A and B are shown apart, each in its own frame.
Chain A
Amino acid sequence: MTVHPTRNIPGLSFRLGALGLSVTETLLVFVGIPAAAVLVIAGLAAAGSRGGGGGGAKRYRPGRPFDFTPVWFLGRPEQLADSAGTALAAGAQAPALTSRKQEQAGREAPAGGTGGASDRW
């Protein structure tokens, strides 16, 4: 560390503070440290948004296209009837519904008497 020239001037006895720093030190302290802090925070923010936890890309916003795999929830998976209309044995894996099964279901006589409601948003 080089001593700043003003330190050697006789009669100047006040504390030099930042004036005592060389140009490199000044740059390191006043540019380097803030830049490092900014980089660390930006890095954390980027990692957080990519890692999920409600990441922006997956969020549903009405009116914007929303890309996802269709899901069908059942309280108990064995309650899904197979194409023959019989329930799967308890504990069996419920298979994904194929289009063939959906068409078969469509050909069956309408159940009739179903109720419910429809709505849009």
Chain B
Amino acid sequence: MEPEAQVTVGEKQAATGTGNPPEVLDGPFSTRQLLRIDEALRLADQGTGLVFSVYVGGLDEPIREHAQRLHRQLAEPDKSVLIAVSPNQRQLEIVTGRYARKRIPDTYAKLAALSMVASFGGGDLAGGIIQGLDQLASHAGKG
């Protein structure tokens, strides 16, 4: 994996200013899917007060540690939930911070993971992510 090639949402706006197609469109999602994921993330953040984040890309071995490293890079890891998906390794990791874990116990994270994996197995990355975000957010409830 090329970590330098990662694209964050912030860059998407920067690229649109230059007139080139935004780099995020090189990612695994179409524009419509990106909009839906964006909406799902916004609703999850607003509804729960937690910080949800979705990473789609390669994860280095050991995969769990890499996902936790990404989670630590977030501004507030304690109240953050990271969903890391590696389509080529067919691996899903959900990392919840110390505070977020109280709102979303591991058993419920596992439940969300199961339904996401069902969608991923059918080839629907965006659908699985949106469904997982929805499940996690609705279980976390209002902050």
Contact = CB atoms under 8 A, between A and B. Distances in A.
A70 to B, nearest CB: 2
Given A70-B27, A119-B117, A96 B91 contact: no
A105 to B, nearest CB: 5
B126 to A, nearest CB: 9
A36 B20 CA distance: 37
B37 interface: yes
A73 B33 CA distance: 12
B140 interface: no
A119 B114 contact: yes
Interface in A84-121: 87-88, 92-99, 101-102, 105-106, 108, 110-121
Interface stretch (A10-18, A26-34, A39-47, A61-69): A61-69
Contacts, number: 218
A54 B51 CA distance: 30
Interface string B117-134: 110111101000000000
Which of A61, A95, A96 has the most C-beta atoms of chain B within 10 angstroms of its own C-beta? A96
B32 to A, nearest CB: 9
A108 B92 CA distance: 24
Interface in B27-86: 27-30, 37-38, 41-42, 44-45, 51-58, 63-65, 68-78, 80-82
Interface in B5-30: 5-11, 13-14, 23-24, 26-30
Contact of A114 (B2, B51, B92, B95): B95
Contacts of B122: 62
Interface in B84-115: 87-88, 90-98, 101, 104-106, 109-110, 112-114
Q: Which A-B residue pairs are the 3 nearest by beta carbons?
A: A70-B57, A77-B10, A94-B10
Given A114-B98, A115-B109, A116-B106, 17 more contacts: A58-B30, A59-B123, A70-B56, A72-B53, A72-B54, A72-B70, A73-B37, A74-B74, A75-B41, A79-B51, A79-B76, A93-B11, A106-B65, A110-B68, A113-B98, A121-B118, A121-B120
Interface of A: 52-54, 58-63, 65-66, 68-81, 87-88, 92-99, 101-102, 105-106, 108, 110-121
